[in-house]
């Protein structure tokens, strides 16, 4: 049985996007703590396998990466959190998966009623 998520982390998202993403996060993992992170140094607190990171392609905040794809590559590895990119651009999604992310989604998908189930299923496959 997969280990339940303890954190869903909104990485580098502006306040406007954090509302709908937070709602999605609570659908994916209702018992997990949902946190927004705007600086690279705060990532170490939630850089563990029981976390899911929803990483913005164009990072809003202060990070040691030029974009979300580079940030995913920096943190990929055996004990890394489950990470996915939030981007409407297919080429960015492909680059993020190559860097170590699971299949992500775009902000345009946030109104899709099946999105939470698809993301939760992808996370379970990775656990």
Q: Which domain holds residue 118?
A: 7-126
Structure tokens of 81?
């959190």
Residue pLDDT tens, the chain, 127 long: 356 899 999 999 998 899 999 999 999 999 999 999 999 999 988 999 999 999 999 999 999 999 999 999 999 998 999 999 999 999 999 999 999 999 999 999 998 999 999 999 888 877 6
Q: What domain count does the chain have?
A: 1
Is 1 a member of any domain?
Answer: no
- Asked if residue 2 is part of any domain, the answer here is no
Q: What is the CATH number of the domain that holds 75?
A: 3.40.50.2300
In a domain, 112, yes or no: yes
Give this prediction's pTM: 0.94
Residue 51 belongs to a domain: yes
């Amino acid at each position: 049985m997969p280990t339940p998520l303890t954190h869903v982390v909104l990485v580098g998202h502006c306040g406007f996007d954090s509302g709908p993403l937070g709602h999605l996060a609570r659908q994916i993992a209702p018992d997990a703590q949902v946190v927004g992170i705007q600086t690279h140094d705060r990532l170490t607190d939630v850089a563990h396998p029981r976390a899911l990171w929803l990483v913005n392609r164009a990072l809003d905040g202060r990070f040691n990466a030029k974009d979300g794809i580079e940030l995913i590559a920096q943190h990929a590895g055996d004990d890394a959190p489950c990470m996915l990119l939030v981007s409407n651009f297919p080429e960015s999604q492909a680059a993020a998966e190559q860097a170590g992310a699971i299949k992500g989604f775009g902000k345009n998908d946030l109104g899709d009623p099946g999105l939470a189930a698809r993301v939760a299923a992808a996370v379970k496959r990775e656990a």
